[in-house]
């Protein structure tokens, strides 16, 4: 079949997979190929058991796979054939050397760029999809265009704003699509080609164009602002606990101010996910490298507040449970970093579980989708942790339950039955404020919400 465009995505992860599946579903006239170095991942994309859990994803994949959507490990052949290449390989925070713990590790990106140069026989448009430090596109353009084959690579930035758990809805109906390009004739021509892809289903006024560096920076700043709202409300949750104010009431009230807006004001045990911490640290690193100490400190405090919130959650548990959890069974309800995903990257549950194990608790992890990832995350303390999918089983004989993820299922459980099987006194720490605290208290639980007065039967805690 003759396709109008041949699009390739390198990296079949949480971003590349869903994004390309939606492009293929919306644009049957294009051939969309997704490649990855990981053969198991590609095999899973070609099977009924997709490698990631995302509501609605499997229907979209089924609609397009084999028609104009292909998953493959034949990276070189796919590069050769494609006119437009999205790159969404992983860009973790560097764990070694200069910038360790802060700067982005660009080795996967650079390796990909070098491979594109080696294999290509003609001009191509290369699109950054992974979030990267500002000015990466420039560095990549230098690597790509230092070839002696006379091939021109136009590098664009098209950051992805989808959130996990709502990826398909976000891709179908994005607030905006951002395409950054050089403002040269070649850059603008390439930009128009990418605009044309999204214009198949995104209203034109929501397709925003900018220069490359603004696009790169906008992605980092969007994530920094979102995370900053969570750290801000989490800081207030601690104050609420001291003053007997209720953080949910404060959120509701301030969110009604249309200048503030109501979203991303839900206090939690901390934000997780692969992006927020990484992107803020990246922003901090860039600011420091330009000598902008105050700016760097300002944004770094958003991450520090998040770390504090996780530590504080465990400290509250300890204090409530008579200053010791040693030998006590504690069930964590949820391990994913948010509901509707199996992803556990930077999940606050990781830190909470590890801290509890250090306190010699017997930790039981329950989650509908994330247990496989949880086992990998807790490999260092796996002998002291149990993994039990069924929350009723997990809570049996437990001294405490801590809600880590706002899975809908947890609201509808029979807590009377759970209470009957637990040790006394029984505690619930609601790290997401999703349960009916009054009802739980009336059943006999000692209830510790976040940023709200605790409901306790015990006078001493
Ligand atoms: C985020 C951005 O939202 C998205 O635009 C970007 O492309 C990638 O990073 P994601 O990490 O998938 O998406 O999920 P998000 O919904 O932003 O949640 C991040 C974390 O913040 C989760 O741990 C979530 O539970 C937490 N959160 C979110 C809160 O604690 N309170 C809130 O009010 C909102
Ligand atoms: P994200 O959340 O940004 O999508 P993931 O870690 O889920 O990140 O996905 C990144 C994917 O990129 C992984 O599946 C990884 O195997 C793949 N990858 C990394 N380096 C390369 C490379 N050089 N060529 C192809 N795929 C790569």
CATH number at residue 366: 3.40.50.720
- Residues 155, 237: contact at Cβ < 8 Å? no
* 457, part of any domain: no
Structure tokens at 90: 């992983």
- Is 370 part of a structural domain of the chain? yes
Tokens found for residue 247: 């953080």
Rounded Cα distance between 207 and 26, Å, is 16
Q: Which residues contact 167 (CB under 8 A, 6 or more apart)?
A: 14, 18, 54, 57
Same domain, 75 and 174: yes
| 36 CB near ligand 2 (under 6 Å) | yes
> Rounded to the nearest whole angstrom, what is the distance from the C-alpha of residue 11 to the centroid of ligand 2?
4
Q: Which CA distances in Å does 93 have to 23, 52, 88?
A: 28, 22, 15
pLDDT of residue 314: 98
Q: Domain check: are 283 and 353 in the same one?
A: no
* Residue 230 forms part of a structural domain: yes
| For ligand 1, atom 11: residue with the closest CA | 273
Statement to judge: residues 182 and 226 lie in one domain:
no
**What's the number of domains the chain is made of?**
3
Specify if 321 maps to a domain.
Answer: yes
CA–CA distance, 348 with 268 (Å, rounded to integer): 9
Q: Tell me if 14 CB under 6 Å of ligand 2.
A: yes
* CB 159 less than 6 A from any atom of ligand 1: no
Q: Say if residue 157 is in the same domain as residue 180.
A: yes
Domain of 117 in residue numbering reads as: 5-202
Cβ-based neighbours of 314, under 8 Å, separated by 6 or more:
352, 355, 356, 359
Q: What would the two tokens of residue 346 be? A: 């930077």
User: What CATH number has the domain bearing residue 227?
Assistant: 1.10.1040.10
Number of alpha carbons in the 13 Å side-chain half-sphere of residue 103: 13
Does 183 reside within a domain? yes
Determine the angle formed by the axes of helices 136-145 and 107-119, rounding to 10 degrees: 30
| pLDDT value for 252 | 98
DSSP, res 290: T
- Asked whether residue 288 falls in the same domain as residue 323, the answer is no
In a domain, 211, yes or no: no
DSSP string covering 351-367: HHHHHHHHTT-EEEEE-
Ligand 1 lined by 232 (C-beta under 6 Å): no
What pLDDT, on a 0 to 100 scale, did the predictor assign at position 146? 92
- Of residues 9, 27, 275, 287, which has the active-site annotation? 275
Atom 21, ligand 1: residue with shortest CA distance: 271
Whether 28 and 166 share a structural domain: yes
**CA–CA dist 343, 272 (Å, integer):** 10
Q: Where does a domain end: 170, 202, 234?
A: 202
Would you call 459 helix, strand, or coil by DSSP? coil
Residue ID of nearest Cα to ligand 1 atom 25: 338
Residue nearest to atom 6 of ligand 2 (CA): 90
Best of 132, 230, 370 to mutate for ligand 1, by most ligand atoms within 8 A of CB?
Answer: 230
Q: Candidates 13, 42, 52: which one to mutate for ligand 2, based on the most atoms within 8 Å of Cβ?
A: 13
Examine the fold and report which residue of 264, 280, 308 is the final residue of a domain before the chain moves on: 308
- H or E, element range at 447: strand 446-449
Whole-number pLDDT of residue 106: 86
Q: Give the chain's count of helices (H) and strands (E).
A: 17, 14
Mean pLDDT split into 10-residue runs, the chain, 461 residues:
94 97 98 98 98 96 98 98 95 85 84 95 94 81 91 96 97 98 97 98 98 94 98 98 95 98 98 96 94 98 98 98 98 98 97 98 98 97 96 98 98 98 98 98 98 88 52
Q: Indicate whether 292 and 320 sit together in one domain.
A: no
pLDDT in the model for residue 461: 52
Same structural domain for residues 228 and 191? no
Q: At what angle do helices 136-145 and 212-243 cross, to 10 degrees?
A: 150
Could you count the other beta carbons within 10 Å of the beta carbon of residue 63?
A: 16
By alpha-carbon position, which residue is closest to atom 14 of ligand 1? 163
The pLDDT assigned to 435 comes to 98
Number of the ligand closest to the Cα of 434? 1
Q: Return contacts of 158-162, CB within 8 angstroms, 24+ apart.
A: 158/86, 158/127, 158/128, 158/129, 158/194, 158/215, 159/128, 159/129, 159/131, 159/215, 159/216, 159/218, 159/219, 160/15, 160/19, 160/88, 160/129, 160/131, 161/219, 161/222, 162/15, 162/18, 162/19
Q: Which ligand has an atom closest to residue 89 CA?
A: 2
In degrees and rounded to multiples of 5, residue 366 shows phi and psi of: -125, 135
Whether residue 240 lies in the annotated active site: no
Token output for 41: 């991942």
**Distance between CA atoms of residues 309 and 311, nearest Å:** 6
**Residue 345, preceding bond cis, omega within 30 degrees?**
no
261 C-beta neighbours (distance < 10 Å), count: 12
Pocket perturbation via mutation, ligand 2, pick of 89, 282, 344, 376 by most ligand atoms within 8 A of CB: 89
Do residue 70 and residue 183 come from a single domain? yes
Residues 329 and 181 in one domain: no
**Nearest-CA neighbor of 234 among 305, 338, 336?**
305
DSSP assignment letter at 96: S
Residue at 460 is within a domain: no
pTM, rounded to two decimals = 0.96
Task: Tell whether the torsion through CA atoms of 242, 244, 245 and 246 is positive or negative.
Answer: positive
E strands, 357-426, where? 362-366, 385-387, 400-403
Exposure b/e, 191-230, CB count within 10 A at least 16 = b: bebbbebbeeebeeeebebbebeebbbbbbbbbbebbbbb
Return the pLDDT at 347.
98
Verify whether ligand 1 is closer than 6 Å to residue 223 (CB atom). yes
């Amino acid at each position: 079949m003759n396709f109008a465009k041949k699009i390739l995505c390198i990296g079949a992860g949480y971003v590349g997979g869903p994004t390309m599946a939606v492009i293929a579903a919306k644009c049957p006239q294009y051939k969309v190929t997704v490649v990855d170095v990981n053969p198991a991942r590609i095999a899973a994309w070609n099977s009924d058991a997709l490698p990631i859990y995302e509501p609605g994803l499997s229907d979209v994949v089924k609609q397009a796979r084999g028609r104009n959507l292909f998953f493959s490990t034949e990276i070189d052949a796919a590069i050769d054939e494609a006119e437009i290449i999205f790159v969404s390989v992983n860009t973790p925070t560097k764990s070694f050397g200069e910038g360790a713990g802060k700067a982005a590790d660009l080795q996967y990106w650079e390796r990909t760029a070098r491979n594109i140069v080696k294999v290509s026989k003609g001009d191509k448009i290369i699109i950054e999809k992974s979030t990267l430090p500002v000015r990466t596109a420039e560095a990549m353009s230098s690597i790509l265009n230092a070839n002696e084959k006379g091939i021109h690579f136009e590098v664009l930035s098209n950051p992805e704003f989808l959130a996990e758990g709502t990826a398909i809805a976000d891709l179908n109906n994005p607030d905006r699509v951002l395409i950054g390009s050089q403002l040269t004739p070649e850059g603008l021509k390439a930009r128009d080609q990418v605009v044309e892809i999204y214009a198949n289903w995104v209203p034109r006024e929501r397709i925003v164009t900018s220069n490359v560096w603004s696009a790169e920076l906008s992605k980092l700043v969007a994530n920094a602002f979102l995370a900053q709202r969570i750290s801000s409300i989490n800081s207030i949750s601690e104050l609420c606990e001291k003053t007997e104010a209720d953080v949910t009431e404060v959120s509701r009230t301030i969110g009604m101010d249309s200048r503030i807006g109501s979203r991303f004001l839900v206090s939690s045990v901390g934000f997780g996910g692969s992006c927020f911490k990484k992107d803020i640290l990246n922003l901090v690193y860039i600011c420091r490298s330009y000598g902008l100490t105050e700016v760097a400190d300002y944004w770094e405090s958003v991450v520090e507040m998040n770390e504090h919130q996780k530590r504080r959650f465990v400290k509250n548990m300890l204090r409530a449970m008579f200053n010791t959890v040693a030998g006590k069974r504690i069930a964590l309800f949820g391990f994913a970093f948010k509901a509707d995903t199996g992803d556990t990257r930077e999940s606050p549950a990781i830190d909470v579980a590890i801290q509890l194990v250090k306190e010699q608790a017997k930790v039981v992890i329950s989650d509908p989708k994330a247990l496989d990832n949880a086992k990998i995350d807790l490999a260092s303390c796996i002998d002291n942790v149990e993994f039990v999918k069924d929350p009723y089983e997990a809570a049996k004989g437990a001294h405490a339950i801590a809600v880590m993820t706002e899975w809908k299922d947890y609201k509808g459980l029979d807590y009377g039955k759970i209470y009957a099987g637990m040790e006394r006194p029984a505690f619930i720490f609601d790290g997401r404020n999703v349960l009916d605290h009054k009802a739980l208290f009336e059943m006999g639980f000692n209830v510790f919400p976040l940023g709200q007065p605790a409901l306790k039967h015990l006078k001493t805690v």
